Amino acid sequence: MNSMGVTLDDCGIAELAAAVSTLSESMQNGKMSAFSDEDIVTLMQKIETCKRQLAALDTRLIIEAGERSLHSRSGAGKMVPFLRHTLGLSRYDASVRVKITHHCGEFVQQTGHVAPPVLPVAAEAFAAGEISRDHVRHIMDVMNHLPVDVPAEARAEAEQILVDYSRNGWPDDLLKIGRDILARLDPDGKVVSDADRRRRRGITLCRPGVDGMTRIEGWITPELRACLDAVFAKLARPGMCNVEDPESPSATGGFIADSVLDAAARRDRRDAGQRTHDALLALVRPGVNMRTLGMHRGLPVEVVLTMSLTDLENGTGVATTASGTQISINEALKMAEGTRPVIAVLDGDGMPLYLRRSRRTANRAQRFALLARDKGCTRPGCEQPANMCAAHHVNDWAKGGPTDITNLTLACDHCHALINDGQDGWKTVVMGKDSPHAGRTGWIAPKSLDPTGTPRVNDRHHVGQAIAAAVDSSCRMWRSRAA
């Protein structure tokens, strides 16, 4: 029993939530002018400790949710999307919480025994409020980069060093300390093996920013680095593959005279990073015939761009690829000149395509139309883009549903598996003419998730349309006022 007389065992969720809420409101609304400077600092430190303890409580809650299969029963499938949808978190925040749980949580094994945390020292300090979530995140990063051949005693000592520093130090310093630890554990660089390097390999294309630019993160193996070095030695040298210079030599230009390259180099104002970017673009754009890579989900491997007729005529707005990436209309048209992508132009009514009843699978033209219309998985909340989805019959084929574009929709493999006639199955319907989403696919959740059985659509892939409509409306209003 704590000082407020409230414990997890002797009260319900409502009482616990009320206790936390009452304390928070008291702190928010209370006057602090009577406190001294020292009191304010002390209060900030104590509140920070409490917030860290509450953050550590996430570990127990996530484990409890996992043991009850709440993420599976909700349709989210995995814990990260479950936390995102339930708590309104970013993908990064939800992913960090799950990773911390895997490293600091105590999981019940099939034998009934409780397995200790992977990082027991960090878990204990985190639960006590002595270190923050950022401390734990950096400690995990350092420990995961230690070679697998490092003895258990050395790993335990490394964790202890990191936690001891974290109690009074800054999270940003932990990576530097980790490098020092690795240098001492492997001074000759002999412990790190090819298996360690392969374990760490990976390239991540992060979410596009507001300006459409995408950050690349990851680690590449020495083999890939050697290949890229050889390619960039030629294509990323000054004067080569300059997208801002129409006379710049390209990757497919064959023999290049020294005088031509020297002249292009004198005109080149790019830095090294920009030259590397343009070299990579030149490497994959004209030199690789994507259509030789075969088929993927019924479509050839190629760039597919969808755009509205209005945006095309006005030269404004964006085009969307099958993976959900957005580029400007002008860039899309430039891209069409070089790579010859498939371009789908949509009018206000979409693209109605039909097939005779004897065919079950959607043909290529229908898949292009689904990509252009749905843009991704249609289950509410799902973010999977069109190139990760299959064509699904809204009204089941086995029950007489036709293979017409009006009865087809996009669904990723995970969401597609949720559709069934069982008690926990999802249902799909075509939204009626009276709906603001007429013609689109509505998903009906199981009664355990939504007792009302209300069909809902997924707007995550159509945010740009709503923004475009709002901008057009604002422009029309502004012009009418100006007139």
DSSP string for residues in 152-221? HHHHHHHHHHHHHHHTTS-GGGHHHHHHHHHHHHSTTS-S--HHHHHHH-EEEEPPP-TTS---EEEE--
365 is a domain residue: no
Give 3-state DSSP helix, strand, coil % of the chain, rounded to 5. 50, 10, 40
Tens digits of residue pLDDT in 229-252: 777 877 888 998 898 998 898 766
Q: Are residues 182 and 244 in the same domain?
A: no
C-beta separation of 377 from 410 below 8 A: yes
Q: What is the pLDDT of residue 358?
A: 38
DSSP H/E element including 321: strand 318-321
Q: Are residues 36 and 127 in the same domain?
A: yes
Q: Are residues 267 and 386 in the same domain?
A: no
What total number of domains does the chain contain?
A: 3
Q: Are residues 114 and 157 in the same domain?
A: yes
Q: What is the pLDDT of residue 133?
A: 95
Q: Are residues 123 and 269 in the same domain?
A: no
Domain that holds residue 130: 31-195
In the listed set 140, 160, 195, which residue is the last one of a domain according to the structure?
Answer: 195
Confidence of residue 183 (pLDDT cuts 50, 70, 90): confident
Distance CA 296, CA 299 (A): 5
Q: Are residues 191 and 48 in the same domain?
A: yes
Asked whether residue 422 carries a pLDDT value surpassing 90, the answer given is no
Question: Measured on CA atoms in the order 465, 471, 474, 475, is the torsion positive or negative?
Answer: negative
Could you count the other beta carbons within 10 Å of the beta carbon of residue 225?
11
183-192, 216-225, 277-286: which has the minimum mean pLDDT?
Answer: 183-192
7 is a domain residue: no
Per the structure block, which two tokens stand in for 173? 């310093």
Q: Are residues 171 and 37 in the same domain?
A: yes
In the listed set 284, 307, 331, which residue is the last one of a domain according to the structure?
Answer: 284
Confidence of residue 163 (pLDDT cuts 50, 70, 90): very high
DSSP H/E element including 345: strand 342-346
Distance CA 1, CA 463 (A): 49
87 is a domain residue: yes
Looking at the DSSP assignment, which residues form a beta bridge with residue 326?
Answer: 320
18 is a domain residue: no
Distance CA 60, CA 101 (A): 8
49-53, 315-319, 415-419, 452-456: which has the minimum mean pLDDT?
Answer: 315-319
Residues 219-235 have a mean pLDDT of 78
Q: Are residues 262 and 166 in the same domain?
A: no
Question: Measured on CA atoms in the order 399, 403, 407, 413, is the torsion positive or negative?
Answer: positive
Asked whether residue 474 carries a pLDDT value surpassing 60, the answer given is no
156 is a domain residue: yes
Give percent above pLDDT 70 in the chain: 75
C-beta separation of 139 from 122 below 8 A: yes
Q: Are residues 140 and 55 in the same domain?
A: yes
Q: Are residues 48 and 166 in the same domain?
A: yes
Q: Are residues 163 and 251 in the same domain?
A: no
402 is a domain residue: yes
Q: Are residues 169 and 228 in the same domain?
A: no
In the listed set 236, 260, 284, which residue is the last one of a domain according to the structure?
Answer: 284
The bridge status of strand 202-205 relative to strand 216-219 is antiparallel
Question: Measured on CA atoms in the order 242, 245, 248, 251, is the torsion positive or negative?
Answer: positive
C-beta separation of 419 from 393 below 8 A: no
61 is a domain residue: yes
370 is a domain residue: no
